[in-house]
């Protein structure tokens, strides 16, 4: 019996730049597949910018054929307007993989940091360094791509626990 790797797409949502990263996991072994960012044109209407993000994420999903997806939850800041716009982009980050039939997990930023670095309040530089340690072949060209790889790695680490929790809840019903 052959065990197949699970391909995970991690997404770090943003209205201007949405990072994406793809990793394969087989047991505890992790392999870098690809990463990058999709972008929207700030001169367009919000609806057109969201359409751009959706189309580009759909292309990433089609090109890399992930089995599962993980999206970082929105970090709420003092600027309610900016948080709302980020929420719209995050909605696209949830919608595109769901439309492709993928299960989508969500992770809080502090959990991503704690999983990757070991501290929930790690700096971005620490996260990016650890992503490169965990995936030596990766070379993210943007902070958004590195963050998306961190989200994918977090899902790889926690997906077994999530599956067990879902099974226990299903039995309880």
User: Is the CB of residue 137 less than 8 Å from the CB of residue 32?
Assistant: yes
Catalytic residue among 12, 24, 68, 147: 12
Bridge partners (DSSP) of residue 106 are 71
144 labeled binding residue: yes
Catalytic pick from 24, 68, 144, 147?
A: 144
Is 24 known as a binding-site position? no
Name which of 57, 55, 58 is nearest 47 in CA terms.
55
User: How far is Cα 160 from Cα 163, in angstroms, rounded to an integer?
Assistant: 5
Under a CB-based contact definition with an 8 Å cutoff, are residues 111 and 75 in contact?
A: no
Compute the distance between CA of residue 154 and CA of residue 115 in angstroms, rounded to an integer. 6
Active site residue 48: no
Tell me if residue 39 falls in helix, strand or coil.
Answer: strand
List the catalytic residue out of 68, 72, 106, 125: 72
Whether 41 is catalytic = no
| Entry field: residues in the chain | 173
- Cβ–Cβ < 8 Å for 11, 93: yes
72 labelled ligand-binding: yes
Q: List, as residue ranges, the binding site for Mg(2+).
A: 12, 72, 144
Catalytic residue numbers read 12, 72, 144
Q: List, as residue ranges, the binding site.
A: 12, 72, 144
């Amino acid at each position: 019996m052959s065990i197949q790797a699970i391909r995970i797409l991690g997404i770090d949502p943003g209205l201007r730049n949405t990072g994406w990263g793809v990793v394969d996991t087989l047991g505890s072994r992790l392999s870098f597949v690809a990463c990058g960012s999709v972008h929207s044109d700030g001169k367009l209407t919000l609806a057109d910018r969201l359409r751009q993000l959706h189309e580009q994420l759909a292309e990433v999903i089609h090109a890399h054929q992930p089995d599962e997806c993980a999206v970082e939850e929105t970090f709420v800041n003092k600027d309610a307007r900016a948080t709302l716009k980020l929420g719209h982009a995050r909605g696209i980050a949830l919608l595109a993989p769901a439309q492709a039939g993928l299960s989508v997990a969500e992770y809080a930023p502090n959990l991503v940091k704690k999983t990757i670095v070991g501290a929930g309040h790690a700096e971005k530089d620490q996260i990016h360094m650890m992503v490169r340690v965990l995936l030596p072949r990766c070379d993210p060209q943007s902070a958004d791509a590195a963050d998306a790889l961190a989200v994918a790695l977090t899902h790889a680490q926690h997906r077994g626990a999530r599956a067990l929790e879902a099974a226990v809840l299903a039995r309880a019903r």
